[in-house]
Amino acid sequence: MSRFNRTSSRSTLRILGGSSHPELTAKIAKKVGVKPGKVVLGKFSNNETRVQLGEQVRNQDIYIIQTGAVNSNDAIIELLLLINSCKLASADSITVVTPYFPYSKGDQKSSLRSPISSKLIANMLKRAGADHLMMLDPHSPQLEGFFDHPVDCLKVEPLFTSWIKNNIPDWDQCMVVSPDEGGAKRSVMIANSLGLEFAMIHNRHKKTLHPGQSGASPVLTREASLAPEDREDDLVHLVQEPPEELRMTHKMVDKYLKISGDVSGFDCIVVDDMVDTGSTIRLALEVLQQHGAGKVYVLVTHGIFSGSCSLILQEATNLEKIVVTNSLPQAVNIARMGSKLAVIDISGMVSEFIRRSHYNESVSVLSGNYFSSKLKMDPELEARERKISDVEELVVEGPLVGPRGPRKGFRLESVCWD
């Protein structure tokens, strides 16, 4: 609580970055107006992670930037050691900025006797000494409840809507599509912000297929579970098999994947939180093509592109553009996919979060609520505010029904320190 009893300034702020995304750390630090803190990162001879702070952090507000999905296991250990180093060096507060939260898919037990990985990581961060955490567009809303300390979940919908308006011709004639039931809420938010129609793909094949059917996952027998030296050929064969979603025939796709909404003749905007193996997006592209949709723009927050995902997506003839944020490094993916891949910069949003958090200001302006095109405001109060908009201080009797917008000149894509 000491941070609320003292005057905050840039001199009491430190931004430290892990090895997962140094480019993003440099951009954020530049927009905040400070230099990245000196940290020595490396490996000992026995391959254990080495972390050492290169400057004083006593009584400082520390912001550690480390994202997942890039050598996630090493990134987690590195992050825990950074947090503990700052804690032992008497840092006043430690905020973890993890655009992509590692193991975010493990938000529930996937099967019997399996862990809840996200909850375990949350406990580890708390135990190491983290006081606050910021993540970008979590895989599921329940992740926020895994933490015992404050958590801010920033949304990318304002960035997506801005990109759509500036880069898609005749965007007001498009239709927003959710590739599965889990992303419906995310897609509806963008559809409502743009005033577009909404459609959803129902993926029933995982619940319908049983072991032994064509396209189903192979049953793990005792022979298949032997050590690699005992069944090397079969093990290699299993690893090289494509995901079950991509082994579906056209007949199976038509049977198990249904779509709510008429997309025939419309260009579509598919919205999801991440693209990992590419199977969900690839099936969505095939379903839209079978139902007569036109060009498809895919907007996802976290571009992981694991395995042969980039090659799989490039085979889709109706994929016009796939848009991701730089929550993860994208240099390799840009080289592979070329002009089909577009990257949205989140450094402005994160730097504004750091500035507001450091000065104890509200960060709700970054949640997307303030960017609604139709704010509900009392008509009389709206007229009074319009008349006296040039006055420096505005005093309104009675609360506004809708929230106030961001400060004048606020641009979410490229905000800097005031």
Mean pLDDT per 10-residue interval, the chain, length 418 residues: 59 93 95 94 94 94 93 94 96 95 86 89 92 89 83 90 94 93 88 92 60 41 46 42 54 71 92 90 90 94 90 89 95 92 94 92 71 43 45 39 43 45
In a shared domain, residues 189 and 338:
yes
Question: For residue 107, what pLDDT is reported?
Answer: 82
Q: How many CA atoms does the CB half-sphere of 385 hold within 13 Å?
A: 14
Q: β-strand 197-203 against 257-260: which pairing, if any? A: antiparallel
In a domain, 97, yes or no: yes
φ, ψ (nearest 5 deg) of residue 132? -155, 150
Domain boundary among 286, 311, 344: 344
Does residue 232 sit within a domain? no
Q: Is 120 helix (H, G, I), strand (E, B) or coil?
A: helix
Q: 53 and 190: one domain?
A: no
Q: Do 190 and 302 fall into the same domain? A: yes
Which tokens in the block code for residue 56? Answer: 């004083």
Residue 181 in domain: yes
Instruction: Residue 123: give its domain's CATH number.
Output: 3.40.50.2020
Pair 47, 102 in one domain: yes
User: Quick check: is 249 in a domain?
Assistant: no
Asked whether residue 359 falls in the same domain as residue 312, the answer is no
Identify whether residues 335 and 358 lie together within a single domain. no
d(CA 250, CA 406): 49
Q: Name the domain count of the chain.
A: 2
79 and 107 together in one domain: yes
Does residue 294 fall inside a structural domain?
yes
Say yes or no: 65 and 183 in one domain.
no
Q: Give the per-residue pLDDT at 237.
A: 40
At residue 123, the pLDDT reads 92
Residues 47, 166, single domain; the answer is no
- The answer to whether position 171 is within a domain reads yes
pTM of this structure = 0.77
The verdict on residue 417 lying in a domain is no
Q: Does the residue 211 lie in any domain?
A: no
Asked whether residue 278 falls in the same domain as residue 356, the answer is: no
Are residue 123 and residue 163 in the same domain, yes or no?
A: no
Judge whether 248 and 283 are in contact, CB under 8 Å. Answer: yes
Domain around 282:
158-198+259-344
How far CA 163 is from CA of 3, 231, 301, in Å, comes to 37, 50, 13
Do 193 and 331 share a structural domain? yes
